[in-house]
Amino acid sequence: MTVDERYMKRCLDLAVLGAGSVSPNPMVGAVVVYEDKIIGEGFTSPYGGPHAEVNAIQEVLTNYGEEEGKALLRQSTVYVSLEPCAHYGKTPPCADMLASFPVKKVVIGCLDSFDKVNGKGVQILRDAGIDVEVGVLEEECRFANRRFFTRITQQRPYVILKWAETKNGYFAPKADRQEWISRPASKQLVHKWRSEEDAILVGTRTALIDNPSLNTRLWKGKSPKRVLIDKNLEVPETSKLFSITNSDLIIFNAVKTDWKAHLKYIELENFDFYLPQNILYQLFLMDVQSLIIEGGAKTLQQFIDANLWDEARVITGDVVWDDGIPSPKLPVASKETLKVGSNVLNIYINK
């Protein structure tokens, strides 16, 4: 690993600390290096707050004072996992901020595909006489922001499929009852995943049989928006989904459109045609950058068949059933296999 790659790896470690709080912004990490020593670092603040570069620079100025800090910055290299922004949004452009010192050099993991940035941040830096290098750990940096890039290039959320299955490939009992497959460690991991995504989706049958809350009660972190597919509004308002008011409940249906505080009914015309496509586009319009789909089997398979999924996380339990509903079928091989307690986690990536 080269020196540049080592510092970019630190940027990536910082970037993921913003998971679950920065959307719809990207997750970015930045470090300031002077004579092979990190003198400042930062990651993107919760949405609306300062970006990673601003936080890293501010740490330098706080630790060394304005005068000495500015002198150090003029001789420093700034590493950042994503191209500094070049437009006014909730905050001023980070490229302008870096150019104002100016820093000696900026090393960038990958360019920002967003039209208002794409290459413009690099140009601002070079116009200020700053040495710029692009493409250090580029693949890793793009993967870290796969949710952001999917949203801006495909106009839909990044879609993660998640389910648990028995050793012999069953998803759920055929009878209308809930039966757990995964163990406590896996359940806690799932709640961590929920805290990192913008929204979570289930179908009618799952809502009726499992009566889920779809929150993060087993993990410290925000609860995602809850999304329910309920064509004929069969799920009663006495269910747990309706009892939670600190996150939106979005109900896609064929009956009505009605928005009241956290409760949002969205009627879809021609409900049975292109359902995954219509749901994802509506969520895109609502600034949902990532979506985790937890069931049921029919709902998951619909998104697989439409090729509208990016990642799948399949937990295999340590139980065997004689019969049941078969698990969804993925058209790709597992990319990674991990142990979670006595369970096995397989991760699939849709290229």
DSSP-derived 3-state class of residue 97: helix
> How far is CA 318 from each of CA 177, 277, 282, 323, rounded to the nearest angstrom?
19, 35, 38, 15
Structure-token match 């100025």, residue found: 61
Question: Cα(301)–Cα(298) distance, rounded to whole angstroms?
Answer: 5
Question: Cα(181)–Cα(332) distance, rounded to whole angstroms?
Answer: 23
Question: Cα(95)–Cα(59) distance, rounded to whole angstroms?
Answer: 17
What are the phi and psi torsion angles at 16 (to 5°)? -70, -10
What are the tokens at 266? 């969205």
With CA atoms as reference, report the closest residue to 187 among 145, 217, 152, 142: 217
Question: Cα(246)–Cα(286) distance, rounded to whole angstroms?
Answer: 17
Task: Check: CB of residue 275 under 8 Å from CB of residue 268.
Answer: yes
DSSP-derived 3-state class of residue 301: helix
What are the tokens at 251? 């109900």
Task: Check: CB of residue 165 under 8 Å from CB of residue 182.
Answer: no
Q: Alpha-carbon torsion 299, 202, 251, 90, what sign?
A: negative
Question: Cα(343)–Cα(182) distance, rounded to whole angstroms?
Answer: 7
DSSP-derived 3-state class of residue 325: strand
> Is 53 among the catalytic positions?
yes
Q: Alpha-carbon torsion 56, 57, 58, 59, what sign?
A: positive
Q: Is the peptide bond before 276 cis (omega within 30 degrees of 0)?
A: no
Burial of 334 (C-beta count, 10 Å sphere; 0-12/13-18/19+): middle
Catalytic residue among 5, 35, 41, 53: 53
| Catalytic residue annotation | 53
